[in-house]
Structure 1
């Protein structure tokens, strides 16, 4: 076990520098935005997806994402059949967060060598993910980049990303504007690590702890590689059903990078979030924390900690929402509630944490 605290920044992922770069990037691209008519951009940067006005009261939700360094676990395991599910999940789950029904997506595979076995297995995962999300994959792109990509196993390096679209009436775009104190926060369980924080996990588990993908590390019920490769849950069926039922959903929030600090991305002003009944934290997170001496503040910033998706709803609808979610095979529970809070903080009493902006701190 390490005696030095490991952070995301210490393993090479500097989210603060990324924020600065993003600001400079968005200052430029926003110059391309039409302000009215067909093609007008309906939301600002910072939403999980954006919406393009199609006219006649209809909007096209659009988002892009990838699976990050989870592809390295696939290389280590020589199993490429599930990362396609992650690619679909990371995109369609974001589309849900503007109240849209995912419709279709395309993929982009950058690969060191176009090995047929690797591409065929990636396609298997993409197909399975599309089935789970009820979307089509009408096309995509493969780029062979031997001078750009490198792997610990020659020829096997690749990156996988996608872009998804969905449809939403422009008068029903969901951004959390109507959230109010007292609303219930429903947490829907993750499958585990999902597709965030794999760089930190690999550094801690493989380099610091000396484990490998074949290790059976208690209390995991499978090998470490199998655990890290578990596909990201797709929340489309339950989320869409709730919207079609007319349930008073205030917001959907995909818990990815930045963990529960994704909650304040909603547009409601002067509200905070108290998470006082978290779902059980999967053991993979305990392993990472113990072997890397990772603080609670860092763990809750980097990882989903057992909750992959949040639904903020009228408290009177909470039981109905839980019933629908569980019928679709997901574990879920009321994990907290909304409060009035000018700082728009995320409060986790059982850990003594308060998150504001882009960091958690002890209180």
Structure 2
């Protein structure tokens, strides 16, 4: 029967080898609250030590994938950093609500399970979890010939964090006069890649070429991992020095920042307050895109926006500088004019 299953395209032994090859990497992310990880029917994580720190503890969860950036990684046969993107897409979202990261689960659906390739993929997930302060306590690898081509795979992830209900970040805290602090992105992050790939195809671009304005080959620009912001801002979040965070993903700055702006206020942004990275300028030129297209799809160099009371701005920016993260004071919150976010 095992041979018949293998003939059908599923190799159980390869799956076991893959699991064994990643155990040490995965356990390196564990903290003292991990009760049981790989090998059981479900991973276990104790909340006892965490509950004592909160008056009204709330679990915050987020799930996401990598999108079609994954297709470029598969095309280039570069699997070691795409897992960082996976973790970032989930971890930055729960951070935006003020969560302290706890644990992460991943899922890999794959056409042909090759242990060394899986090890490369999971190594990126492990790096991402370490950057995000998450324990990678479990996951699933599913070899599915017929669903995926032999060289194809897909990733999804699930992050859980904890916060005190009375200290959750969000629109309920934002006030007129709050300042907007934009945190520099590492590049495109993981949104807009369907448009990126269309531009590459239509403009007949060479992924291995270094184009004018770029300091490295195009494929390296495109596969630069999404920045994880937890270790850069955790002290700010814990201190209560900010009212809200917007994680800038699909929809750009305006769409994501509008989620944390109350109905009677407007986030007014000065476009000249930061320099848009060259990769975005190149994409705009290659794709003949207007400004509204760029603003709708891409982060434009701002990966996260902190909304801070004016009296805490200096403390926040000092903290960011101490942690070597480039930031920009990009605007302020004013009385509602016409829309939730206005970029000029």
Fold-level similarity (TM above 0.5) = yes
Q: CA deviation at 1:243?
A: 2.0
Match of 1:301 among 296, 312, 328: 296
Q: CA deviation at 1:342?
A: 5.6
How far apart in 2 are the matches of 1:212 and 1:289? 17
Match of 1:333 among 301, 312, 328: 328
Q: CA deviation at 1:269?
A: 2.4
How far apart in 2 are the matches of 1:326 and 1:83? 28
Task: For structure 2, list consecutive stretches of 5 or more residues without a partner in the other structure.
Answer: 1-50
Residue of structure 1 equivalent to 2:153: 158
Residue of structure 1 equivalent to 2:41: none
Q: Give SS of 2:293's match.
A: helix
For each residue in 1:93-131, what CA deviation from the matched residue of structure 2 results, as whole angstroms up to 9, or x when unmatched?
A: 000111111111101111111122221111111111111
Q: Which has the larger helix fraction?
A: 2
* Residues 99, 163 of structure 2: 8 Å contact kept: yes
After superposition, residues 229-248 of structure 1 pair within 5 angstroms as: 229-247=223-241
* Residues 87, 162 of structure 1: 8 Å contact kept: yes
Residue of structure 2 equivalent to 1:168: 163
For each residue in 1:278-305, what CA deviation from the matched residue of structure 2 results, as whole angstroms up to 9, or x when unmatched?
A: 4211111111111111111011010000
Whether 2:193 is the aligned partner of 1:194: answer no
* Residues 192, 298 of structure 2: 8 Å contact kept: yes
Match of 2:309 among 290, 314, 317: 314
How far apart in 1 are the matches of 2:117 and 2:133? 24
Q: CA deviation at 1:212?
A: 2.4
* Residues 133, 237 of structure 1: 8 Å contact kept: yes
* Residues 88, 129 of structure 1: 8 Å contact kept: yes
RMSD: 1.6
* Residues 232, 325 of structure 2: 8 Å contact kept: no
Task: For structure 1, list consecutive stretches of 5 or more residues without a partner in the other structure.
Answer: 1-53, 350-363
Q: CA deviation at 1:329?
A: 2.5
How far apart in 2 are the matches of 1:99 and 1:246? 9
For each residue in 1:43-92, what CA deviation from the matched residue of structure 2 results, as whole angstroms up to 9, or x when unmatched?
A: xxxxxxxxxxx996111001101111111111122110001111111111
Residue of structure 1 equivalent to 2:222: 228
* Residues 258, 301 of structure 1: 8 Å contact kept: yes
Higher-Rg member (1/2): 2
Per the normalisation by structure 2, the TM-score is 0.81
